[in-house]
Amino acid sequence: MKIGILSRNKNLYSTRRLVEACGQRGHDVHVIDTLKCYMNINSSSRSIFYLGESLEGFDAMIPRIGASITEYGTAVVRQFEMMGVYCLTESIPLGRSRDKLRALQLLSRKNIGMPVTGFAHDVQNGRELIKMVGGAPVVLKLLEGTQGRGVVLAETTKAAESVIDAFTELGADFLVQEFIKEAGGSDVRALVIGDKVVAAMERSAADGDFRSNLHRGGTASITKLTPVERSTAIKAAKTMGLNVAGVDILRSARGPLIMEVNSSPGLRGIEEVTGKDVAARIIRYIEDNAFSTRGSRRTRG
């Protein structure tokens, strides 16, 4: 198969691992810088160009779209879809997962557990919003924040009101969520491929922090999911429409709560912690599904 990987940096761990997995399984693989793609959009033909050449003959595309280029990256993925190329992560699920509010609303509609969440832009009485999610302590998040940035733990109502005032002054949309104390600054990352959880790890925050992101100094260890956690992760990924997803779960007294569904999950942490070849499993999934039901040849809008 001729497989493309949409990635800004071919040296990133996840991109390198996917290239290696493609090579080991005998595929012709190309890394394509998403932002250097340009498109010909007309009614008679659709094409994408890269470094002066038309990108033709691809059987599958693996989008690794960074949050900062979501809009343009989604347009590139959509164009490949219109050309009949099988995209592991499709444009609509990509957009759903990147819109934090939309993602939470979709999860809510499917009755999937998640922290009680308030959403606002300009509130006259921040205390009412805090009360709505159960009172302090609360977690406040900028809607556009990623990788733990724009996330604040306010331990008192007064502190939470101050953060809300600051977000309001910025003219920013923001979320207010209940703080799950029993999670103890830890969460679980479940890596879902298709209808299976193929690997899972527990991430713990560094001392003095409550965010468990590994790139912010958090640590990770292998963990075993309960049947409910496993089914919740799979249901969350399916709700987004994602074939591959990193589902972040908080372990609470009332069961697993979904914190986020990531459409471009990093592979380094989960592969190093679990010892599993996740990259190879992703490529095998593409092999099994790229041509099913005319998967790589259907036209999607």
Q: What pLDDT sits at residue 150?
A: 78
- 290 closest CA partner among 97, 84, 34: 84
Give tens-digit pLDDT for 90-130.
999 999 999 988 999 999 999 999 999 998 887 777 888 89
If asked whether residues 162 and 71 sit together in one domain, one would say no
- 287 closest CA partner among 88, 19, 100: 88
If asked whether residues 196 and 107 sit together in one domain, one would say yes
Q: What domain count does the chain have?
A: 3
Residue 173 has pLDDT above 60, yes or no: yes
For 196-205, what is the mean pLDDT?
A: 93
If asked whether residues 147 and 26 sit together in one domain, one would say no
Residue 273 lies in a domain: no
Give tens-digit pLDDT for 233-253.
999 999 999 999 999 999 999
CATH code assigned at 66: 3.40.50.20
Residue 250 lies in a domain: yes
If asked whether residues 84 and 45 sit together in one domain, one would say yes
If asked whether residues 13 and 139 sit together in one domain, one would say no
CATH code assigned at 190: 3.30.470.20
- Return mean pLDDT, the chain: 90
If asked whether residues 59 and 160 sit together in one domain, one would say no
If asked whether residues 159 and 211 sit together in one domain, one would say no
If asked whether residues 108 and 242 sit together in one domain, one would say yes
Q: What pLDDT sits at residue 297?
A: 43
Give tens-digit pLDDT for 35-44.
999 999 887 7
If asked whether residues 174 and 58 sit together in one domain, one would say no
Strand stretches in 113-267, DSSP E: 117-120, 138-142, 151-154, 174-178, 186-193, 196-204, 219-222, 244-252, 255-262
- Range(s) of the domain holding residue 249: 96-112+182-263
Residue 272 lies in a domain: no
For 138-165, what is the mean pLDDT?
A: 84
If asked whether residues 154 and 196 sit together in one domain, one would say no
Residue 8 lies in a domain: yes
Integer Cα distance of 82 and 76 in angstroms: 10
Residue 277 lies in a domain: no
Considering the entire predicted model, what is its pTM?
0.87
At residue 187, the 3 state secondary structure works out as: strand
Residue 108 lies in a domain: yes
If asked whether residues 9 and 69 sit together in one domain, one would say yes
Q: What pLDDT sits at residue 171?
A: 87
Integer Cα distance of 210 and 18 in angstroms: 31
